[in-house]
């Protein structure tokens, strides 16, 4: 099989598209013939050795795939060769084949095509868990989404609207803000312009926002925390800016608000039944047309480096997916 390999941690351009042996299959694993692979910010980090997981090189990046079951481990029940699936893999997806623990697979709904399925699990799983389990968002509450035209950002807008919240989208350019509006955002704010906090105040009638969804971090953290409503929940989702902010603890006291961590991968491992229930609901919402990944581009597997550069250089809106 062919794979886009990281032979040693380093720049994206050091990845090599090469012939590789099929990965060995353990008894509790399933081999998937990959049809498509979602590209996510962690893929940019993992090849540079900057992510929380550091696989032993050589490895292929790629944490979510769609495809068909090609081989089933001896201890696995419930899956057969030819089943249409989507799966999260942490890494290994930028390849023609990947193996995954059987409990990482979900059946691909008939209403979802392979490209959409490859761009679904990570972003929508994260945002649903964040908004439902971590923030307990209620209909009528105001949600501020930072990085709103990015992968997790768009999924957060769509899910929050489906749950009855009002959404303020925040991003760095007018073009990105218009994309967020087309995805359902009610109001827009550009966080690179002066008056960011004044605009949030104005949009919330001086109350502040109930829930913040923050995949960006860095310098945006403090002014955003200062813009929270009483009883607010600030969801720490990621640090796409490259900077992990420090929490000024006095602000949580003054605002009567909570700073709440979100780690979907760990939630999945520790609360698999709750995660499966989330996905039952997400697949229903997708089938009903209430949520839909915005796949802004597809790239052939051989051009995975271009896809990673686009993400790293802040040029992507929505999701990009590799076709295999």
Ligand X SMILES: NC(=O)c1ccc[n+]([C@@H]2O[C@H](COP(=O)([O-])OP(=O)(O)OC[C@H]3O[C@@H](n4cnc5c(N)ncnc54)[C@H](OP(=O)(O)O)[C@@H]3O)[C@@H](O)[C@H]2O)c1
**Nearest to ligand X by Cβ — which residue?**
150
- Residue 19 CB, nearest approach to ligand X (Å): 29
Q: Which long-range contacts (CB under 8 A, 24 or more apart) does 271-279 make?
A: 272/103, 274/133, 275/125, 275/129, 278/125, 278/128, 278/129, 278/132, 278/133, 279/106, 279/121, 279/125
Q: Does 241 bind ligand X (CB under 6 A)?
A: yes
Nearest distance from C-beta of residue 168 to ligand X, angstroms:
14
183: tokens are 């995805």
- Scanning the chain, the segments in alpha helix (DSSP H) are 41-46, 114-118, 121-128, 151-162, 174-182, 196-203, 221-225, 249-255, 264-270, 272-287, 304-312
Question: Nearest Cα to 55, choosing from 92, 3, 15, 110?
Answer: 92
Considering only 80-88, 195-203, 225-233, 263-271, which stretch makes contact with ligand X by CB under 6 A? Answer: 263-271
Please, which residue, 108 or 129, has the CB nearer to ligand X? 129
260 touches ligand X (CB under 6 A): no
Per CB under 6 A, the list member of 91, 264, 283, 299 interacting with ligand X is: 264
Considering CB under 6 A, how many residues would be counted as binding ligand X? 29
* Comparison of 40 and 204: residue with beta carbon closer to ligand X: 40
For residue 312, the 8-state DSSP code is: H
122 contacts ligand X (rule: CB under 6 A) = yes
Among 93, 147, 208, 293, interactor with ligand X by CB under 6 A:
147
CA distances from residue 221 to 119, 217, 256 in whole angstroms, order as listed:
27, 5, 17
Query: Quick one: tokens of 168?
Result: 């303020």
Report in angstroms how near the CB of residue 271 gets to ligand X at its nearest. 13
Asked if 183 touches ligand X (CB under 6 A), the answer is no
Closest CA to 38 of 10, 74, 63, 21: 63
- 61-120: contacts with ligand X (CB under 6 A): none
- As measured in angstroms, the least distance from the Cβ of 29 to ligand X is 23
Q: At what angle do helices 174-182 and 151-162 cross, to 10 degrees?
A: 40
Residue selected from 35, 168, 229, 316 as contacting ligand X according to rule CB under 6 A: 316
Which range in 66-74, 79-87, 205-213, 309-317 contacts ligand X by CB under 6 A?
Answer: 309-317
**Tokens 């813009």, located at residue:** 227
Q: Which of residues 25-44 bind ligand X (CB under 6 A)?
A: 40-42
- What does the per-residue mask of binding to ligand X show for 265-294, with x meaning CB under 6 A? x-----------------------------
Three-state SS at 165: coil
Determine if 215 is a binding residue for ligand X (CB under 6 A).
yes
Residue closer to ligand X by CB (options 136, 254) is 136
Cα–Cα distances in angstroms (integers) from residue 127 to residues 31, 202, 238, in the given order: 28, 26, 12
- Which residues here bind ligand X, judged by CB under 6 A? 40-42, 122, 126, 147, 149-153, 171-172, 176, 215-216, 237-242, 262-265, 311, 314, 316
């Amino acid at each position: 099989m062919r794979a886009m390999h990281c032979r040693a941690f380093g720049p994206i351009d050091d990845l090599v598209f090469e012939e590789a042996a099929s990965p060995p299959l353990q008894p509790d694993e399933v081999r998937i013939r990959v049809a498509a692979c979602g590209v996510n910010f962690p893929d940019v980090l993992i090849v540079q050795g900057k992510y929380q997981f550091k696989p032993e090189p050589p490895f292929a990046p790629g944490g979510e795939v769609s495809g068909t079951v090609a081989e089933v481990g001896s201890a696995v029940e419930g899956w057969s060769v030819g089943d249409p699936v989507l799966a999260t893999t942490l890494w290994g997806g930028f390849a023609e084949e990947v193996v995954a623990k059987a409990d990482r697979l979900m059946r691909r709904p008939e209403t979802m095509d392979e490209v959409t399925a490859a761009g679904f699990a990570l972003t929508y799983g994260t945002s649903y868990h964040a908004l439902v389990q971590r923030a307990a968002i209620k209909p009528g509450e105001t949600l501020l989404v930072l990085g709103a035209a990015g992968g997790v950002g768009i999924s957060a807008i769509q899910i929050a609207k489906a749950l009855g919240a009002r959404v303020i989208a925040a991003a760095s350019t007018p073009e990105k803000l218009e994309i967020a509006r087309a995805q359902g955002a009610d109001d827009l704010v550009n966080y690179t312009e002066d008056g960011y906090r004044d605009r949030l105040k104005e949009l919330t009638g001086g109350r502040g926002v109930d829930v913040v969804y923050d995949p960006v971090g860095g310098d945006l953290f403090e002014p955003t925390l200062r813009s929270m409503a009483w009883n607010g929940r600030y969801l720490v989702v990621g640090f796409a800016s490259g900077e992990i902010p420090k929490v000024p603890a006095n602000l949580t006291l003054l605002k009567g608000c909570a700073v709440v961590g979100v780690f979907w991968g760990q939630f999945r491992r520790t609360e698999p039944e709750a995660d499966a229930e989330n996905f039952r609901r997400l697949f229903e919402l997708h089938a009903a047309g209430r949520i839909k990944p915005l796949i802004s581009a597809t790239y052939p597997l051989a051009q995975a480096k271009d896809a990673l550069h686009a993400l790293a250089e802040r040029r992507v809106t929505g999701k990009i997916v590799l076709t295999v």
